[in-house]
Amino acid sequence: MSRTRALVTVAAASAALLALAACGGDDTAGDAGGNDLGLVSAGTLTVATEGTYRPFSFHEDGSGDLVGYDVEVAEAVADKLGLEVEFQETQWDAIFAGLDAGRFDTIANQVSITPEREEKYLFSAPYTISRGVVVTTTDNTSITSLADLSGKTTAQSLTSNWYELAQANGANVEAVEGWAQAVALLQEDRVDATINDQLTYLDYVKENGESGLKVAVETDDTSESAFVVTQERAALAEAIDGALEELRTEGVLAELGDKYFGADVSQ
């Protein structure tokens, strides 16, 4: 299924949500066949998110209100549609099963759009677009392309796709457990570079300053994250699309990106 979908206006989106609620009957998700497109709870957009995934969905200092980029995007979408929003914090391993079971209407948790997922689910337009980046120290001028990684040493998690990209470009890989360890090795000049997701780098810089690091190369690989719904909820996906388009046009998505990452990550 193509990710391209005609965007609707907020007025049309609101009408779609009214139609959804009218179908709902008893405020439940619907019959066992999944043919009822009503919201889980009338007047409320019920959103699944982990609540432990900083800076997208988390509790500051482990307590307090649920905050984060995905949380605020979901709140803004619900507001555009004239709905309350209710978050259900769910572990990632169970989040799609919960969606399938009708326990919530959608997921806002940096769900990447993939061909495999598109076979089973519907996605809204993406609200996060991130590229892969090669990060080096600011004084490193030897790496300006992926080809320059040949013979260099990069710090990578062996289970990540960035490990495969580093190897494919001839890098010697130093195995690490994650981003924090990779940064430490970079700052100690024990490796030449690390490849990771742009959002990871932006979040680090937002929290720590430049710390002597820079993006030396942007890869062609992009990851797009969006709201996801079950196949029979096409009207809901279109309604969310309409709200996102308004938020993008009004600059709200750019403002939220700047708040959490210091950059617009919505396009």
Measured over the CA atoms of residue 27, residue 122, residue 33 and residue 18, the dihedral's sign is positive
Measured over the CA atoms of residue 12, residue 17, residue 21 and residue 23, the dihedral's sign is positive
What local confidence, expressed as pLDDT, does residue 89 receive? 97
Confidence check: pLDDT of 243 > 80 = yes
Confidence check: pLDDT of 18 > 80 = no
As a whole number, mean pLDDT of residues 190-210 equals 93
Q: Which among 255, 71, 112, 95 is positioned nearest to 197, based on CA atoms?
A: 112
Percent of the chain with pLDDT over 70: 86
Confidence check: pLDDT of 226 > 90 = yes
Which of helix, strand or coil describes residue 90? coil
Contact between 195 and 165 under an 8 Å Cβ cutoff? The reply is yes
pLDDT in tens, 47-101: 999 999 999 999 988 888 999 999 999 999 999 999 999 999 999 999 999 999 9
What local confidence, expressed as pLDDT, does residue 159 receive? 84
Q: Which two tokens stand for residue 18?
A: 């009214």
Q: Where are the domains of the chain?
A: 10-126+226-261, 129-222
pLDDT in tens, 113-165: 999 999 999 999 999 999 999 999 999 999 999 999 999 999 999 988 899 99
Q: Give 129-222's CATH code, choosing from 3.40.50.720, 3.40.190.10, 3.40.50.150, 3.30.1360.70.
A: 3.40.190.10
Look up the CATH number of domain 10-126+226-261. 3.40.190.10
**10-126+226-261 against 129-222: fold identical:** yes
Confidence of residue 211 (pLDDT cuts 50, 70, 90): confident
Confidence of residue 38 (pLDDT cuts 50, 70, 90): confident
Which residues are bridge partners to 123 per DSSP? Answer: 228
Q: Which among 135, 125, 134 is positioned nearest to 224, based on CA atoms?
A: 125
Q: Name the E strands within 98-161.
A: 106-107, 121-123, 128-137, 153-156
